[in-house]
Amino acid sequence: MQKRKLGQQLEVSALGLGCMGMSFFYGPPRDTAEMTRLLRAAVDRGVTFFDTAEVYGPFVNEELLGRALAPVRGQVVLATKFGLKHGEHGPTPTSGLDSRPEHIRRVTEASLRRLQVESIDLLYQHRVDPEVPIEEVAGTVKELIAEGKVRHFGLSEAGAETIRRAHAVQPVTALQSEYSLWMREHESEIIPTLEELGIGFVPFSPLGKGFLSGKMDAAAPLAQGDLRRMLPRFSPEAMQANQALIGLLQQIADEKGATPAQMALAWVLAQKPWFVPIPGTTRLDRLEENLGALDHELSPEDLQRIEEATARIRIFGARVPEQFQSMLGR
């Protein structure tokens, strides 16, 4: 397995595994025994970087990773998150945010117990809380690092100025934000800021929440309980309109003996050597397909061709509902 470095010190597999969908967002939680086998299979194939959060479930995703990865703890890097309030079924538009220092400490202790670890490898603020200065947040995590309860500090979907302010208090190891061929808004300001400061980037949803795999049927309705139903980009009309992007990926994949998903991931990996995408899956065949992206390196000519083609493709539909938009890029 190829390795990459986040920040100055945190080395992880070039592809991580986003674990949210095992317990949350895409429908009911999957079978625990089956997901345990999948997590162990990922480790066997060289994956060392696993992403979770307290709100995934809530709680059950951290518990799943804690039990499943306990026997291989020395081989893996676990990332989790704080700061999103949640209801019975996870975060909602009205759940709100809470990054008060006392709350960070309380939920970190709970995450340590659920993950069955003495120290969290990478602790992200899930979303920026405008009610709590980022300096207080970074200072609290700095204290947790000094106490040995956390190893590295991360942010998620934060704006450039927030990243700078946080980094001045406690070096930020990684920013996690959505990024893919159909979500590139971070290229103008965020990614240059990360490069300047030496901060790693962890793109979530590098396959566009499954759309860029080319395996979703625009004419087939999403299942009840699949929260993509609330995303404007997954309306039937938007999915049909965005098929042009799938057509491009399929064409390149056919030429290279690959799949659209592998080309989408190869494109993300080719952007910067400090990008570590975390595609999620609940299936072994998809895990192996995703890892196969590491065998397909795109040439400068390939990248230029993709750039020219995507410049002519208009993406339809917002990536999040309007009520969530204010939580991004603060």
Q: Which residues are catalytic?
A: 56
Question: Comparing C-alpha atoms, which of 322, 280, 323, 303 is closest to residue 51?
Answer: 280
Cβ neighbors of 271 (< 8 A, separation 6 or more) are none
The three-state secondary structure class of 209 is coil
Q: Report residue 328: phi and psi, to 5°.
A: -110, 140
Task: Report the alpha-carbon distance of residue 272 to residue 294 in Å, rounded.
Answer: 14
Asked if residue 281 lies in contact with residue 21, where contact means CB atoms within 8 angstroms, the answer is yes
Task: For residue 322, count other CB atoms closer than 10 A to its CB.
Answer: 9
Task: Report the alpha-carbon distance of residue 291 to residue 17 in Å, rounded.
Answer: 10
Asked if residue 16 lies in contact with residue 47, where contact means CB atoms within 8 angstroms, the answer is yes
Q: 3-state secondary structure string, 17-53?
A: EECHHHCCCECCCCCHHHHHHHHHHHHHCCCCEEECC
Place of tokens 């991360």: 154
Which stretches of the chain are DSSP H helices? 32-44, 60-69, 101-115, 134-146, 160-169, 190-197, 236-241, 243-256, 260-271, 284-291, 300-310, 322-325
Distances (CA, A) of 6 to 16, 50, 173, 180: 12, 14, 6, 18
| β-strand partners of 77 | 49
Task: Report the alpha-carbon distance of residue 34 to residue 208 in Å, rounded.
Answer: 24
